[in-house]
Structure 1
Amino acid sequence: MSKRIKDKTTELAEPIVEGMGLELVDVEYKKEGKHWFLKVFIDSEDGVDIEDCGHVSEKLSETLDEENIIQGAYYLDVSSPGAERPLKTKKDISRAVGKHVYVTTYEPIDGEKAFEGTLTGFDEDSLSIEGKQKQKTYHVPYEKVAKARLAIQF
């Protein structure tokens, strides 16, 4: 049920978000405590502000009401993915080259399952990460990536 709502919301939100010159990063539909939340994450090259979130929320809310895909009460939350934005697609990873990232894998590579450092390259099949701790470059096959996100460097 929640996958259907997530997929349908994505389908409805993409043209709204893209029509405003923004990017749809992710959609989540989950229960927190006793309340359901539909979370929509948007971004752009220049970042997003409260007005962008408000405009998307208003238009998406109207569309969701018209389509009536969610039965029962829920809260719609439109926001930025934050400084540690998830990298969910190959396009996201390509745009992150040169930035500080945190990547986990399904299985160990060179005895490691977590990699943090500068993403120095991505060729659609493999990520090159210059390790923060060991000053070593790791080559992580894309198909072994469990999660990837931007990381704040301290």
Structure 2
Amino acid sequence: MDNLRQWIEEALEQYGCRLYELEWLPDEPTAILRVSVEKPGGTVDLDVCTLCSDAISAMLDEKDWNDKEYMLEVCSPGAERELKTYEQIEGALHSYVYVKLKDPKKGIDQVFGDLIEVSPDHIVVAYKVKGRPKKAEIDMENISLIMTAVKL
């Protein structure tokens, strides 16, 4: 899978995209190779997905990656997506996020706000309570779930 990841990352570079997530789903009726792509700034439309899909498909054919039947699915990770790795959290810096805590602190068990700081140990989320600006510093070990969110 490591070679596959590297090959896909190289194929995406020409379109200014990066690999968000790579999933191999062999237990589906027809196996699926799902490639989620993103651009810095977050905009990925159908045209970008099509270009990336064509590039990845051509590369996979050239590398003769898999001799069994499978479907290639290239998609955007979506506006509201779970951030599963440190790199994904770091990539969401300055984005609006939802964070659910394992152990509530100061009566807070979840927070919606702007991700303003990321370090290996903690994150800082800026949010408002009754119009007043607040900041929550959350230890990485205390995060049950973190995802990008749509600000309404």
Q: Same fold (TM over 0.5)?
A: yes
Identity %: 28
Listed as ranges, the matches of 1:40-119 within 5 Å are 40-46=35-41, 47-105=43-101, 107-110=102-105, 114-119=110-115
Deviation, 1:49, is: 2.3
Residue deviations 1:59-85, cap 9 Å, x none? 211222233333422211111111114
Structure 2 contact 20–88 (Cα < 8 Å) conserved:
no
Separation of aligned partners in 1, 2:20 and 2:27: 21
TM superposition shift of 1:13: 0.3
2:150 corresponds to: 152
Moved more, 137-146 or 33-42: 137-146
Q: What's the TM-score once normalised by structure 1's chain length?
A: 0.74
Following superposition, the deviation at residue 98 of structure 1 comes to: 3.3
Query: Contact 1:18–1:24 at 8 Å: present in 2 too?
Result: no
Query: Whole-Å Cα distance in 2 between the matches of residues 77 and 142 of structure 1?
Result: 32
Q: Normalising to structure 2: TM-score of the pair?
A: 0.75
